Structure 1
């Protein structure tokens, strides 16, 4: 099993509608749906190798031995392979195209997510409210935050439900690298196989923890940003507006670390017990529910497995290293 690394902010921006976009509170001009679909697809393609390596680490696949290094204090530590070493291994096995295994269903998932968010936004438009930042209007501003966050939560949940089946297919295509399987060789073939073996519910395994993570992320970011901007940032300060514009983004990075276990559990459930080697022992038991998966990872101290892909320290007894 992989060791727990120090959580780091995402190394690549998420497609529109992902945590980075939600935290920044982006506004979309009318008639720009096609642009955002194209942008989301481009970002998904560019970040795919990173997410591919992350998924393999999440399921506990460690094909390369750890190496001995030193930390900032000069002490010897054991490091597991980082992203670049891991990616190089994938290229050696599958070639450069191998880094984009599972990209097609992910692009479709990203496109469906963006289109769904736009459709829901048009069907249920949010009424414009006056900007409120004065401490005397705390109740009014809080009501505005709650209304906006509830609207964003509805859009995010709907887009997650619509795009999740393709997310499941993408995950399964990627983890086939571990067992060299070809069970999920195409989008339509994967859809037919899941329907035949698992039924319609097979497309929504891991959906609950993903939605819970999204909802917790949204509310924590919105409420924390509101209270910080209201009570910690003085309106008389010359740079108050600049600080407020970045508060939600910075908080989003921190909150995404705290909600990472929901992402991990959701991804593991998407590939668990589906007939692939990555979803069976020794990588994981056959989980009966996402709560079972959460408890298993918690007991193993692995709830943040895969959150860091650069400096991944492996646990090792101190006696294994001679004293300098």
Structure 2
């Protein structure tokens, strides 16, 4: 119990610290560009027109809403983080208890490293999926609270009132908008990360090296970053579907068309070359072939 409480406290602290970053990322994902491009230099020193980065974007939000504006949507996100941590911990605990309760658990023959990885990854997948499923309504509310910045709405002014609004306008399914791509992205990222780490640790790193344990921990971090990059389109599509056609300016034209499904959203983003929109908040080059419309605060 104490371990779960400490995880909740740590997770809450990280959530608060990362809130401005997520806020800016979500607005960029939606396609909102309140500031015109500026002439800057890329990593190779060449002059290019760039969109405002994280700090310039955050500065604009502070100018409009004050410093507290950077933490819009924090309350439902904290609820999601805390509940998700508890659910994740409880599911893994159930697995451990069930394994210990099995007859002859202490006399079981040791399994191979691959079998162990498959077993642990499967359990982690179930735990993460359960946490995501239960907390997704809070995630939807978080995103909609943030996107209200675009149209200056106050439709989702509180967590409890937001639940009432979504249920009245969209029914139960409204709480799970964007759930499928989010689950798929989480599952693919988890399996990619763990299997790549297993392959690297088993076949690329030789046993007997003094820094083997340290190298293996690094490989897990590297594969995690690589897996998150590959599955980013699922995150983008999930977030767009969570705010799509919900009555907010950020979920309607000219920012986004009304998508019939998450596959339709994926298809349109792919055709436009926007599958990585919002993935980087630094050195944001103006998309080729796009026309910047200052009056509409977006690209077309």
* RMSD (Å) for aligned C-alpha atoms: 1.8
**Cα distance, 1:113 vs structure 2:** 0.4
Query: Who is 1:213 aligned against?
Result: 185
* Cα distance in 2 for residues equivalent to 1:301 and 1:182: 32
Q: Distance in 1 between matches of 2:70 and 2:269?
A: 27
1:6 matched to which residue of 2?
A: none
SS in 1 for 2:247: coil
Out of 26, 37, 52, which is 2:23 matched to? 52
CA drift at 1:316: 4.9
| Displacement of 1:310 | 1.3
Where does residue 66 of structure 1 map in the other structure?
37
2:54 matches 1:89? no
Q: Which moved more, 1:308-317 or 1:189-198?
A: 308-317
Deviation at 1:247, TM superposition (A): 1.1
* CA distance in 2 between partners of 1:122 and 1:231 (Å): 31
Alignment partner, residue 2 of structure 2: 31
Could you say which residue in structure 2 is the equivalent of 1:173?
145
SS in 2 for 1:124: helix
Alignment partner, residue 257 of structure 1: 229
**Aligned equivalents of 2:2 and 2:92: distance in 1?**
13
Aligned with 2:171 (options 194, 199, 222): 199
- 1:237-285 Cα distance to aligned partner (Å, 9 max, x none): 2222221122111110111111111111101110000000000011111
Matches within 5 A, 1:131-280: 140-280=112-252
* More contact order relative to length (CA 8 Å, sep ≥ 6): 1
Q: Which has the higher helix share?
A: 2
Q: How many residues align?
A: 281
Distance 1:238 1:211, change over 3 A: same
Q: Is the 8 A contact 1:78 1:316 kept in 2?
A: no
Q: In structure 2, what is the equivalent of residue 303 of structure 1?
A: 275
Q: 1:77-100 CA distances to partner (integer Å, 9 max, x unpaired)?
A: 010000100001001111111111
Q: Which runs of 5+ in 1 are unaligned?
A: 1-29, 131-136, 318-324
Structure 1 moving runs of 4+ over 3 Å: 126-130
- TM-score with structure 2 length normalisation? 0.90
Aligned to 2:263: 291
Structure 1 residue 195: Cα displacement: 0.5
Please tell me whether the aligned partners of residues 42 and 283 of structure 2 are also in contact (alpha carbons under 8 angstroms): no
Gaps of 5+ in 2: 290-300
How far is the alpha carbon of 1:301 from its aligned partner? 0.4
CA distance in 2, matches of 1:316, 1:58: 17
Distance 1:227 1:64 in 2: 45
